[in-house]
Amino acid sequence: MQAAKPLFDYPKYWAECFGPAPFLPMSREEMDQLGWDSCDIIIVTGDAYVDHPSFGMAIIGRLLESQGFRVGIIAQPNWQSKDDFMKLGEPNLFFGVAAGNMDSMINRYTADKKIRSDDAYTPGGMAGKRPDRASLVYSQRCKEAYKHVPIVLGGIEASLRRIAHYDYWQDRVRNSILIDASADILLYGNAERAIVEVAQRLSYGHKIEDITDVRGTAFIRRDTPQGWYEVDSTRIDRPGKVDKIINPYVNTQDTQACAIEQEKGPVEDPQEAKVVQILASPRMTRDKTVIRLPSMEKVRNDPVLYAHANRVLHLETNPGNARALVQKHGEIDVWFNPPPIPMTTEEMDYVFGMPYARVPHPAYGKEKIPAYDMIRFSVNIMRGCFGGCTFCSITEHEGRIIQNRSEESIIREIEEIRDKVPGFTGVISDLGGPTANMYRIACKSPEIESACRKPSCVFPGICPNLNTDHSSLIQLYRSARALPGVKKILIASGLRYDLAVESPEYVKELVTHHVGGYLKIAPEHTEEGPLNQMMKPGIGSYDKFKRMFEKYTKEAGKEQYLIPYFIAAHPGTTDEDMMNLALWLKGNGFRADQVQAFYPSPMATATAMYHSGKNPLRKVTYKSDGVTIVKSEDQRRLHKAFLRYHDPKGWPMLREALIRMGRGDLIGPGKDQLIPAHQPATDSYQSARRKNSTPAGSHKVAKESKEKTTKILTQHNGLPPRASDGGNPWDKREQAKAAAFARNQQAAKERKDAAKGKGPKPTRKPVVPR
């Protein structure tokens, strides 16, 4: 793999003399206190500013500060005018624009395209503090504020929309976000290397349009530069048969004659003299080769070409062998340089060791920021994921090569949390990252790793070249929990259980010391069809891990449970698949109160399946087999109802579906049957979502009293409570629900009678069982 200039080897900008700021300034008053007359760089973000390494604006801001630049933050500006974008003045070098830690559309809308009631990255969890397609809006406002200041676009929204992409909310293919935002350059993936290089060059006086050789960037070009060899993507992965040109003298109304001519192919005259042409044969090297993808106009109008482009894009994601890509949009080209070189352990330590305050900016006062509350006692130990799950965007954004921090750096951060973060009680809520157990796991051979083009190292099985040794992670756990003042180290990141079972010692260590009663894992499904489209292991891997989990739990003398997560309506899923999953859930005693329907995020492979009906995991042709797609609202509801088979509200739909599928034998009271034949007279079931939502009609009261409504819980529940609670937990829960329902009904009747003057003022309040 190519060498890269270390992040800490750049000369410092002159403003280094000001030193690090307690917080990056968000106002002119703070700039005055720091002695700044202007900012060199201003970061505009859709998230509240939290000075913590789990927030993108903090990492990029502190990194640029370490290079000597003065960095200001404009967090969640009012986008209705340019005024908020001018409050820190004109930046000397550029605006850095990002939508935040999430794509702004995913942040605001559910998988059913309904507006969310909250935003975890906003003070008070308040929704509506960022616009739809925030990167576009912020970039345009920055241009209005200071027309000639360059705009550097980044963050996950820009990263996943850098190419012509299918947009779920508009149900169409949109331009590269670089075009729509009118930005000058786009940084994708982990952007530390790119942002430092761009900032340094601009500080030397280079023009933004001349910065075209930085990895991990996208920009606009008019033509292919001299010395580059251009390859059409259809030569690499031909999407289908190309028709031969027929004889122009054939009557085109005669279809039989046309068919005969097509079968003949080109006919050459052996007596005809041929001109010999000597063509230049440039030396075709990967670092001077660019692959031309089908144009924006072609992928917009042809779903098969869209799937083909998505496949080629994913084949060119290994930093060791990726080539540049180019895609025409109208009259201009959008050029994508190869992905950034992964950071070394020393560079990771450098990035995470900067002087973060580890708390939200003081401007927010005592307002709670839910996303911060979730991670304030957690530590990110690595980046990247080689799982390659098709519905996930981690690999597309962070890459599939794991970038690790040193154990010393991680221990220092835990000590810093212990000593500096308010409210620390001795419990570290997570040591993880994109996954819990890929720390220091990599290919056994750097040469093989740099040449590999597989999308996953663990599907369809674990690659024999992958080193699955968990010893470094085990040692990290032991060192962390041995620290004075640390009572418990929990693991909350998603566990790759098919990898974990390769190390029984790791599973024992995890189960014995690092599970807080429940451990989340994500089988996602039980059936081979959808699992193959997800690139997830079979349910047998889950069963193997479950046996190990229960064995070590028993040996530790603890009561602990696995929490499995599943996806409804994923490409490749049939109604029969969901029925079988529901039967598995019932047979294993699981009741999932909240379920996740497939969400087509930009650029994901599963999204290409959803849009095109083709499978980009294999060669895409017009005649290749299609993928079952769940698009209609009714079918998506049905798939979710199968996951929540225990909810009476879904029983009518399930009865109809089961009869249609010829599985009426699953309707009845038996333990092997899925749902009862009759609907209950009064529905005593109350889902966790409804239970924790704001009651109808209470918004006005809440507004008048200025009381915040209860947030919807997002954690899976429905697993059997611990046996120590006594009795049959399921019976007790249902009895409590039924009693609460009866009391609520009585209270409603009393209120209705009182309103009609037929009775005293009611004193009962609605209750919800715990």
Q: Tell me the binding residues for [4Fe-4S] cluster.
A: 385, 389, 392
Task: Tell me the DSSP string of 617-666.
Answer: TS---TTSPP-----SHHHHHHHHHHHTTT-GGGHHHHHHHHHHTT-GGG
Q: Map tokens 């070394």 to a residue.
A: 344
- Give yes or no for a contact between 152 and 209, defined as CB atoms under 8 angstroms apart: no
- Give yes or no for a contact between 62 and 356, defined as CB atoms under 8 angstroms apart: yes
Residue set of the binding site: 385, 389, 392
- Give yes or no for a contact between 179 and 334, defined as CB atoms under 8 angstroms apart: yes
Q: Rounded to the nearest 5 degrees, what angle is found at the Cα of 711, between the Cα atoms of 709 and 714? A: 170
Strand 332-336, strand 324-329: pairing = antiparallel
Helix segments in 469-563, DSSP class H: 471-481, 497-500, 504-513, 528-534, 539-556
CA 119 to chain centre: 16
Of 335, 72, 61, give the one whose Cα is nearest residue 209. Answer: 335
Q: Give Dmax (Cα) for the chain.
A: 110
Of 197, 141, 509, 145, give the one whose Cα is nearest residue 341. Answer: 197
- Residue 652, amino acid: P
- Sign for the CA dihedral angle at 540, 545, 549, 551 comes to positive
φ and ψ of 626, to 5 deg = -85, 170
Which regions of 384-537 does DSSP assign to beta strands (E)? 403-404, 427-428, 430-432, 488-489, 518-524
Cis peptide before 460 (omega within 30 of 0): yes
> What's the rounded Cα separation, in Å, for the pair 397 and 191?
10
Q: Map tokens 């014995």 to a residue.
A: 512
Element counts in the chain: helices (H) and strands (E): 28, 21
φ and ψ of 514, to 5 deg = -125, 20
CA dihedral 115, 121, 126, 127 (to 10 degrees): -20
- Sign for the CA dihedral angle at 243, 245, 247, 248 comes to positive
- Give yes or no for a contact between 38 and 149, defined as CB atoms under 8 angstroms apart: no
> What's the rounded Cα separation, in Å, for the pair 511 and 558?
9
| DSSP secondary structure code for residue 209 in this structure | G
Tell me the two tokens of residue 228: 């580059």
- Give yes or no for a contact between 10 and 200, defined as CB atoms under 8 angstroms apart: yes
Task: Tell me the DSSP string of 592-627.
Answer: -SS-EE----TT-HHHHHHHHSS-TTS---TTSPP-
Task: Tell me the DSSP string of 115-172.
Answer: BPSB-TTSGGGBS-SS-TTHHHHHHHHHHHH-TTS-EEEEHHHHHHTSSSEEETTTTE
- Give yes or no for a contact between 572 and 390, defined as CB atoms under 8 angstroms apart: no
The 10 Å Cβ neighbour count of residue 617 is 21
